[in-house]
Amino acid sequence: QITLKESGPTLVKPTQTLTLTCTFSGFSLTTFGVGVGWIRQPPGKALEWLALIYWNDDARYSSSLRSRLTITMDTSKNQVVLIMTNMDPVDTATYYCAHTNSSAPIDYWGQGTLVTVSS
Amino acid sequence: DIVMTQSPDSLAVSLGERATISCRSSQSVLYTSNNKNYLAWYQQKPGQPPKLLIYWASTRESGVPDRFSGSGSGTAFTLTISSLQAEDVAVYYCQQYYTSPLTFGGGTKVEIK
């Protein structure tokens, strides 16, 4: 079955760079159409889509956060990495990674990891 | 970017009664070549990740109870819970996957009256 798990720091300081790793199983990111994305959710607030990378290394980003985000994949490790620069307290959120296919909804989600930005 | 707007922000419905949630997109998410609306609905319970309920605007995901239904086309969509059960208390989100950036609605919180 498909599983995804997020890992990374739980606390970062303002201006620091956040690096999150999504480790997945049950599918391959070399399969045509497959994608892995990142979505975040500040406490008590709505979901916000951040970035997505497809099997062909095609990366897509949130328009408002594009300048701060980088998404990469390592197919040998079954991992996707999200880098977010210049962290701010407003970036405090639960960060989810998720599985999708091109032109399809998100069908599997990780459990999420809470990242707090505070000095 | 396509902006997704949900209404209401919250609603309270008696057990067994109907709950209706609206979602509007700032531009059409209907792909005319295949006549499919690239619109999904998710349910999120406290402390859990979202769960896919409906895709293509009206297709229930496997295992989703048939009291959940989706309708609409183009820019206007509705999620209906025909007979609200206690386990349906959650926040519901719509999302368009027509084009990136993929975008979510602001969510609708459903509670028991």
pLDDT digits (tens, 9 = 90+) for B82-98: 999 999 999 999 999 99
Among B1, B52, B103, select the one facing A107 at the smallest CB separation: B52
Query: What confidence tens digit (pLDDT) does each residue in A35-52 have?
Result: 999 999 999 999 999 999
Of A46, A105, A109, the CB nearest to B55: A105
Asked if A104 and B55 come within 8 Å (Cβ–Cβ), the reply is: yes
Q: Which residues of A touch B106 (CB under 8 A)?
A: 46
**In Å, how far is B85's CA from the nearest CA of chain A?**
23
* Inter-chain residue contact B107 with A47, CB threshold 8 Å: yes
With vertex at residue B43, the alpha carbon angle to CA A72 and CA A51, rounded to the nearest 5 degrees, is: 15
pLDDT of residue B32: 94
Select from A52, A105, A107 the Cβ nearest to the Cβ of B100.
Answer: A52
For chain A, give the percent of residues with pLDDT over 90. Answer: 98
Q: What number is the average pLDDT over the span A56-70? A: 97
Interface test with A, best of B5, B52, B64 (most A CBs within 10 A): B52
Cα–Cα nearest to B102, from A53, A111, A95: A53
Confidence of residue A5 (pLDDT cuts 50, 70, 90): very high
Confidence category of residue A109, pLDDT binned at 50, 70, 90: very high
Q: Determine the average pLDDT of the residues in A51-63.
A: 97
Residue A108 near residue A24, CB atoms below 8 Å: no
- What's the pLDDT band for B104 if we cut at 50, 70, 90? very high
Give the pLDDT band of residue A95 (cuts 50, 70, 90): very high
| pLDDT tens digits, B16-46 | 999 999 999 999 999 999 999 999 999 999 9
Chain B residues whose CB is inside 8 A of the A112 CB are 49
CB contact under 8 A, A60 and B100: yes
Contact (CB<8Å) A61/B101: yes
**pLDDT per position as a tens digit, B69-85:** 999 999 999 999 999 99
User: B39-73: per-residue pLDDT in tens?
Assistant: 999 999 999 999 999 999 999 999 999 999 999 99
B104·A107 Cβ contact <8 A:
no
Q: What is the pLDDT of residue B66?
A: 96
Q: Which residues contact A99 (CB under 8 A, 6 or more apart)?
A: A2, A4, A24, A27, A34, A35, A36, A106, A107, A108, A109
Span between the terminal Cα atoms of chain A, in Å: 40
